[in-house]
Structure 1
Amino acid sequence: MSTEDAAAPSAELTDAVRRFLDHLTVEKGRSANTLAAYRRDLDRYLRWLTASGVTAPEDVATGHVTGFLQALSTGGDGGAALAVRSAARVLVAVRGLHRFWALEGLAADDPARAVSPPKPGRRLPKALSIEETTALLEACSEDTPTGLRDRALLEFLYGTGARVSETVGLDVDDVVGITAALSESTGSAHHDDGPASGQPVVRLFGKGSKERVVPVGRYAASALDAYLVRGRPALLAGATTSTPALFLNTRGGRLSRQSAWAVIRSAAERAGITAEVSPHTLRHCFATHLLSGGADVRVVQELLGHASVTTTQVYTLVTVDTLREVYASAHPRAR
């Protein structure tokens, strides 16, 4: 059923969706990115309902929800056909909407309650080898303001396992103890009390605004220090107003996720890496290399900010696959 020429959703449906989004904003504290994704997915759902003749929340039946889910995979609603994981994400928004409507009395029951999301096949995260990761990091070696920023950005992503959204959202004050820790490690007499006197740390704000504290390794700390001393002030000089943002663009404003993506892809090209590389690739490398080095999976879970250890355990499958490859190629009686 195409919705390209469908009429606009009724005022009652539109208002009911707005109330749900307000609930997510005020009561649940969802991030701006999450709200934008929900709004986009629910706009598509409203177009489907409207094309199906639905004008009020209480008119929605289970068949409308299952039909929409099927249309997502084929593009039958007039939108782009979605992969299994993307369709499952949209269904999460739809189920949340109907649960809210039922609880608020906007509908008598929840027609989406019995609709299960499609089951995606397990997709292992793709990580670079340690040698490829090193080549990627060293591809940003220019002693210029943007070169220092790019090296600090890549070292930070790999050294902390932070998401790119967490990274570009950082302020300078979120990174604690960089200069003090480097001074101590080189034998300087400079000492401070508190966190700055040990290994530097960063406060990261993940999904649901959950805060976690992650240590910053020496390579990342050194790159950040060089950027903060010689790179960031030069970038900030081009700004019309001051900003607390840690990573800046060439106009002195906060670096965007898209710009961070471009930095990594450019570095990958210079390093001669042909595999697809994204900001999330360095997060995968962080987890995979830690586990390969013997780190406990629950420690890696805490560092990544995963709510469940099950999410982290997918990286153990990557490690097992690597062990199998090494065994098959090295043991004289493996084959």
Structure 2
Amino acid sequence: MSNLRDNIGMFMEYLSIEKNCSPLTIEHYEKDIMHFAAFMKQQAISDFAAVSYVLVRHYLVVLHESSYSRNTVARKISSLRSFFKFLNREGMLSHNPFAMASLPKKGRQLPHFLYEEEMKQLFSVCRLDDPLGQRNQAILELLYGTGIRVAECCSILIKDIDFFVESVLIKGKGRKERFVPLGSFALSAITRYIEGGRNELAKKSEKRFDSLFLNYRGEPLSARSVRNILNSIIEQSSLNVHISPHVLRHTFATHMLNEGADLRAVQELLGHAHLSSTQVYTHVTKDHLKKIYNNAHPRA
């Protein structure tokens, strides 16, 4: 099993250093590969080089017989295909047994988003006379106002914000960088936090950090902490909805398109490599338009 862990460790290092994947992405890869490694152990196979296409087919059957969704199965197979491709490239395998494995067709789910009235309730929760409240308000305004990913939010440094041109430098997936405009509300919340709350939080630590967002100990905020902050905001509000950084990303894109924004402009703002990733939001806007039509047209 130690040899398996060495192989997995090398791949995790490759994802982190060469591919610049986010910690959450790396965590998902590791869980998927470790799940297959446990399956190999059940089959008395102790080396990735001994994995055959027949074993892969058996594993697919096990996955389909389990309660996993099609999307989860597709992700697991995709993770393992990438992992075995890496081992093959590094000369540790002579073949990729997952190369021929077909991915199940993913179920298309419309992204969950919040309505403008719901967002207004969230913005009224944070205490603006408190350092943590100022920070949380700045996070909420930034995530909704830019549509950036949670990992991108946590990696922002103070120097990445250009107050003169009102934009922020975002370091996205695969080391790709993009400038995203900052709206007046986000800019105001960030300014309040930097000039007030952040200074108070920074005093909690003997070290000095350049990260924009700090935790209560004065250290850089983690993605997990941002999710906990959003859950806390929901609990304090009267809303009975699920919220996550990605829901705010969905909300940003949906509201932009509902107000007539160009699809390619939204693609660039979101940092999507492919337009197809952005097009899922057009289904939401079509439903929105249909609802308006049915409610407003006398012969709908």
Q: TM-score, normalised by structure 2?
A: 0.92
CA distance in structure 2 between the aligned counterparts of 1:249 and 1:16, rounded to whole angstroms: 35
CA distance in structure 1 between the aligned counterparts of 2:224 and 2:3, rounded to whole angstroms: 36
Matched, 1:50 2:36: no
* 1:272 corresponds to: 238
CA distance in structure 1 between the aligned counterparts of 2:115 and 2:17, rounded to whole angstroms: 43
Paired amino acid for 1:323: L
**Residue pair 1:31, 1:209 contacting (<8 A) in 2 also:** no
* 1:308 corresponds to: 274
The range that moved more, 129-138 or 259-268, is 259-268
The range that moved more, 288-297 or 266-275, is 266-275
Deviations 1:282-325 (A, max 9, x none): 11111001001110000000000111010000001100001111
Gap regions ≥5 residues in structure 1: 1-8, 76-80, 178-195
Paired amino acid for 2:159: D
* 1:180 corresponds to: none
* 2:183 corresponds to: 217
Q: Per the alignment, in what secondary structure is the counterpart of residue 313 of structure 1?
A: helix
**Residue pair 2:202, 2:208 contacting (<8 A) in 1 also:** yes
Counterparts of residues 1-335 of structure 1 (less than 5 Å): 9=1, 11-75=2-66, 81-177=67-163, 196=164, 198=165, 200-334=166-300
Go from structure 1 to structure 2 and tell me whether the alpha carbon gap of 1:155 and 1:68 turns closer, same or farther (over 3 Å shift): same
Cα deviation, residue 71, structure 1: 2.5
Q: Per the alignment, in what secondary structure is the counterpart of residue 116 of structure 1?
A: coil
CA distance in structure 2 between the aligned counterparts of 1:56 and 1:139, rounded to whole angstroms: 54
Deviations 1:193-236 (A, max 9, x none): xxx2x3x1111112222211101000000011111111111111
CA distance in structure 2 between the aligned counterparts of 1:42 and 1:274, rounded to whole angstroms: 36
Paired amino acid for 2:171: F
Tell me the matched-pair count.
300
How well do the aligned residues superpose, as a CA RMSD in angstroms?
A: 1.9
CA distance in structure 2 between the aligned counterparts of 1:23 and 1:289, rounded to whole angstroms: 37
**Residue pair 1:31, 1:208 contacting (<8 A) in 2 also:** no
Cα deviation, residue 74, structure 1: 4.3
The range that moved more, 56-65 or 118-127, is 56-65
Cα deviation, residue 22, structure 1: 4.1
Cα deviation, residue 264, structure 1: 1.6
Cα deviation, residue 121, structure 1: 1.3
Go from structure 1 to structure 2 and tell me whether the alpha carbon gap of 1:14 and 1:230 turns closer, same or farther (over 3 Å shift): closer
Q: TM-score, normalised by structure 1?
A: 0.83
The range that moved more, 58-67 or 145-154, is 58-67
Paired amino acid for 1:155: E
**Residue pair 2:20, 2:173 contacting (<8 A) in 1 also:** no
Go from structure 1 to structure 2 and tell me whether the alpha carbon gap of 1:168 and 1:330 turns closer, same or farther (over 3 Å shift): same
